[in-house]
A and B are shown apart, each in its own frame.
Chain A
Amino acid sequence: MERLIISSTTETPYIPNVDFNTETGICEISGDSYMEDTYKFYKPLIQWLVDYYREKKKPITLNVKLLYFNTSTSRCILEILECLKEFNRQGLDVNVNWYYDTNDPDMKNDIEDFEIESKMIINSIEL
């Protein structure tokens, strides 16, 4: 399987930067996320995680550095967290780090809500 890299551009600021690294298991999502067809964008990311788990069986670290995501993106993020929770339940070492700006109280609430919903431990890290 291959490293998954997607880059946001000035023409597409509504898609996040994605770097899912096959060698290290470190997966990073950053920037803004409010594209039109959210599920079409996130489905390959979820599939990459499933494939990585099946093929590599190595620890996964998810680093989230999103500045803004719309509500349909939030459903996809929840699906990613639920997927990681299931890997963790089956014995895989999974870490989720969520970086946020201290001047963004809404993001801190969002992280708390995702933690409650997904039952995943999310490390909130101040930027």
Chain B
Amino acid sequence: MENTSLNNVGANVVQEVFVYEGPVSMATLLEYGSLIRRYVEQKILSNKLFRIFIEIAQNVAHYSEEFIIDNDKRIGVGKVSLFEAEEYFELQSSNLVKKEDAHILCERCNMINSSDNSELRSIKRYIRSDTAVTRIGARIGLVQIALTAESKVDCVIEDAGHDISKFSISIKTRKNNTSWNV
């Protein structure tokens, strides 16, 4: 259902490229990362989508409150999807988070969406320099996907029970971007 709520943006017809729901393991990353690289021919766009996909998928893998244990390894469970419209691709992810964290994450998205490219790069540098290697986490990941996509990060919070929310993000990447004429 959350796909529908995030999908009805703009007049474009949106077509599903893939929707994966389950434990987001390294095998998942490899399978769908490879699919993106095969599916999107334009190299800059393909790179951008691959990079955004890895970041959002690893956020689910590392931070989802729903998880499985496989060979003593914690693997987050959630949903990652790619949709295509005439003018853009859209990557989405959703996973369970603590209710208090959902609001922090949404505030972070709002802060990201009110910052320009130069401010985002400055924020990224600040977080990276300020954060210990072992705790770098999702703080910088959201900033990075906004920078890579050159667009806003939409987020939706839905109640998923006591102290738990479903946190969904959606990010679009334009197919033709004049700034890519490098």
Contacts and interface: CB of A to CB of B under 8 A. Distances in A.
Given A70-B58, A79-B133, A117-B128, A106 B148 contact: yes
B58 A34 contact: yes
A11 to B, nearest CB: 9
B26 A106 contact: no
Nearest to A101: B43
B29 A71 contact: no
Contact of B55 (A71, A76, A109, A113): A71
Q: How large is the interface on A (under 10, 10 to 19, 20 to 34, 35 or more residues)?
A: 20 to 34
Contacts of B121: 109, 113
Contacts of A102: 182
A13 interface: yes
A102 B182 CA distance: 7
Interface residues of B, number: 32
A68 B125 contact: no
A105 interface: yes
B133 A76 contact: yes
Contacts of A14: 26, 29-30
Contacts of A42: 133
B48 A106 contact: yes
B133 A104 contact: no
A72 interface: yes
Contacts of A34: 29, 54, 58
B78 to A, nearest CB: 16
Contact of B179 (A36, A68, A72, A105): A105
Interface string A65-80: 0001011101110110
B136 interface: yes
A90 interface: no
A42 B47 CA distance: 23
Interface of B: 26, 29-30, 43-44, 47-48, 50-51, 54-55, 58, 61, 73, 121, 124-125, 128-129, 131, 133-134, 136-137, 140-141, 144, 147-148, 179-180, 182
Interface of A: 13-14, 34, 36, 38-39, 42, 68, 70-72, 74-76, 78-79, 102-106, 108-109, 113, 116-117
